């Protein structure tokens, strides 16, 4: 396989995954969970989040089809269920009030806040906020297009390129969460809250779109 073909696979995979994963937009949502953590706790939370992100993305690439076969699931069903899950998470984010944030911040002294966040790092912060069913469905689509019948080695190389794209997405997410705190602090509490609410609303809309896409594929409808 030529280098140009690998670059095409990399660029097309990057352009397909970036708007779905949206590491910049989702970074604002995730930052809302990490606001009251001290620098050491924040660093540990971001590292765990990044590791979970890579595990889900690359894990889908490696054993995704096997997982679907074991549970007898179809991608449209995952889209429908995952979209509903994203809507639920977005509704919770939209319903958060500033007073509850202050109460939780006061509990940060005795470590309650960190334990609470640590339990949420995988769900819902990593899945489905950071990398969700929409991203997984795109990875499945990329796998189908990268598979070459009768050429296992070439298919494996193509999959490695897609895995590299997933790692790049995780790296962008990591850098934004690590270095973007200064920019977010400049916005102030009110500006940060406004952005979080807007992103939560758009996250809710994304969840609806993913659910509608799943419904349209299940019932063979042309909704969108």
SS (H, E, C) 167-178: HHHHHHHHHHHH
Q: pLDDT (tens digit, 9 = 90+) per residue, 163-214?
A: 999 999 999 999 999 886 777 677 777 777 787 788 778 778 877 887 888 8
Which H or E run includes 42? helix 39-71
pLDDT reported for residue 100: 46
Instruction: Count Cβ atoms within 10 A of the Cβ of residue 66 and give its class: 0-12 exposed, 13-18 middle, 19 or more buried.
Output: exposed
Q: Which of 22, 9, 3 is nearest to 162 (CA)?
A: 9
| Mean pLDDT calculated for residue range 210-219 | 86
**Helices 133-146 and 152-179, interaxial angle, to 10°?**
150
Helices 3-21 and 23-34, interaxial angle, to 10°?
A: 50
Q: Is the pTM higher than 0.85? A: no
- Confidence grade of residue 79 (pLDDT, cut at 50, 70, 90): confident
With a CB cutoff of 8 Å and minimum separation 6, the contacts of 222 are: 216
Give the torsion sign (CA, 80, 83, 87, 88).
positive
For 92-131, write each residue's pLDDT tens digit.
778 765 544 444 444 444 467 788 888 889 988 898 889 9
Question: Is pLDDT of 84 > 80?
Answer: yes
- Note whether 139 and 60 are within 8 A (CB): yes
């Amino acid at each position: 396989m030529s280098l140009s073909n690998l670059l095409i696979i990399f660029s097309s995979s990057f352009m397909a995954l970036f708007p779905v994963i949206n590491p910049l937009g989702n970074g604002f949502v995730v930052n809302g969970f990490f606001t009251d953590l001290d620098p050491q706790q924040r660093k540990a939370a971001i590292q765990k989040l990044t590791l979970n992100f890579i595990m889900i993305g690359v894990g889908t690439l490696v054993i995704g089809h096997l997982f679907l076969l074991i549970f007898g699931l179809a991608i449209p069903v995952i889209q429908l269920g995952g979209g509903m899950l994203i809507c639920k998470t977005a509704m919770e984010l939209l319903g958060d009030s500033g007073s509850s944030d202050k109460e939780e911040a006061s509990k940060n002294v005795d470590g309650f806040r960190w334990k609470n966040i640590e339990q949420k790092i995988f769900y819902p912060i990593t899945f489905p906020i950071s990398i969700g069913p929409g991203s997984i469905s795109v990875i499945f689509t990329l796998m189908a297009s990268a598979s070459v019948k009768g050429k296992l080695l070439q298919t494996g190389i193509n999959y490695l390129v897609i895995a590299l794209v997933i790692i790049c997405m995780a790296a962008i997410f990591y850098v934004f969460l690590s270095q973007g705190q200064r920019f977010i602090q400049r916005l102030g509490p009110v500006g940060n809250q406004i952005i979080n609410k807007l992103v939560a609303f758009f996250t809710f809309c994304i969840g609806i779109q993913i659910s509608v896409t799943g419904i349209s594929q299940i019932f063979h409808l042309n909704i969108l």
